[in-house]
Amino acid sequence: MPTKTIIEPFRIKSVEPIRWTTRREREQLLEAAHYNLFLLPADDVLIDLLTDSGTGAMSTHQWAAVMEGDESYAGSRSFDRFKNSVQEIFGYKHVIPTHQGRAAERILFGVTCKKGEVVPNNTHFDTTRANVEFVGAEAVDLVIEEGHHPSLQHPFKGNMDVAALESLIARVGRERIPLVMLTVTNNSGGGQPVSMENVRAVSAVCKRHGIPLYFDACRFAENAWFIKLREKGYENKTPKEIAQEMFRYGDGCTMSAKKDGMANIGGFLCTNDDMLAQQEKDLLILTEGYPTYGGLAGRDLEAIAVGVQEALEEDYLRYRIASTAYLGNHIASHGVPIVQPPGGHAIYLDARAFLPHIPPDQFPGVALAAELYLEGGIRSVEIGTLMFAHGAQMDLVRLAIPRRVYTQSHIDYVVEVILEVWKNRERIPGLRLTYEAPFLRHFTAHLEPMNVGAATRS
DSSP state of 53: S
Shortest separation between residue 256's beta carbon and ligand F0G, angstroms: 3
Q: Which of 330, 311, 263, 351 is nearest to 78 (CA)?
A: 263
State which residue, 51 or 112, has the beta carbon closest to ligand F0G: 51
- Whose CB is nearest to ligand F0G? 101
Give residues in contact with ligand F0G (CB under 6 A).
51, 53, 100-102, 125, 127-128, 183, 187, 216, 218, 256, 258, 267
Q: In 3D, which of 190, 182, 189, 242 has the Cα closest to residue 218? A: 182
Provide, rounded to whole angstroms, the least separation between the CB of residue 129 and ligand F0G: 10
Task: Give whole-number Cα distances, 340 to 98, 302, 369, in Å.
Answer: 34, 37, 19
**CA dihedral angle for residue 417, residue 418, residue 422, residue 424, rounded to 10 degrees:** 30
Residue 34 CB, nearest approach to ligand F0G (Å): 21
Characterize the bridge pairing of strands 446-449 and 431-435: antiparallel
Of the two residues 358 and 381, which places its CB atom closer to ligand F0G in the complex?
381
- Identify which of residues 192 and 362 has a Cβ nearer to ligand F0G in the complex: 192
Residue 252 or residue 429: which is nearer to ligand F0G going by CB?
252
Q: How far is the CB of 335 from ligand F0G (least distance, A)?
A: 27
CA distance 335 to 170: 44
Smallest separation, CB 300 to ligand F0G (Å): 13
Nearest residue to 270 via CA among 215, 311, 219: 215
**Burial of residue 171 (number of CB atoms within 10 Å: 0-12, 13-18, 19+):** exposed
Distance CA 102, CA 107 (A): 9
- Cα–Cα distance between 35 and 370 in angstroms, integer? 6
Q: Supply the minimum distance, in Å, between the C-beta of residue 267 and ligand F0G.
A: 5
CA 334, 339, 344, 346 torsion-angle sign: negative
Those residues with Cβ within 8 angstroms of residue 356's Cβ, 6 or more apart along the chain or in another chain: none
To ligand F0G, the closest distance from the beta carbon of 185 in angstroms equals 8
Which CB, 161 or 216, lies closer to ligand F0G?
A: 216
Cβ atoms of 258 and 265 closer than 8 Å: yes
Q: Which of 157, 177, 158 is nearest to 166 (CA)?
A: 177
Nearest CB to ligand F0G, comparing residues 257 and 417: 257
Nearer to ligand F0G, 52 or 395 (CB): 52
Helical packing angle, 220-230 and 314-332, nearest 10° = 80
Nearest residue (CB) to ligand F0G, 183 versus 271:
183
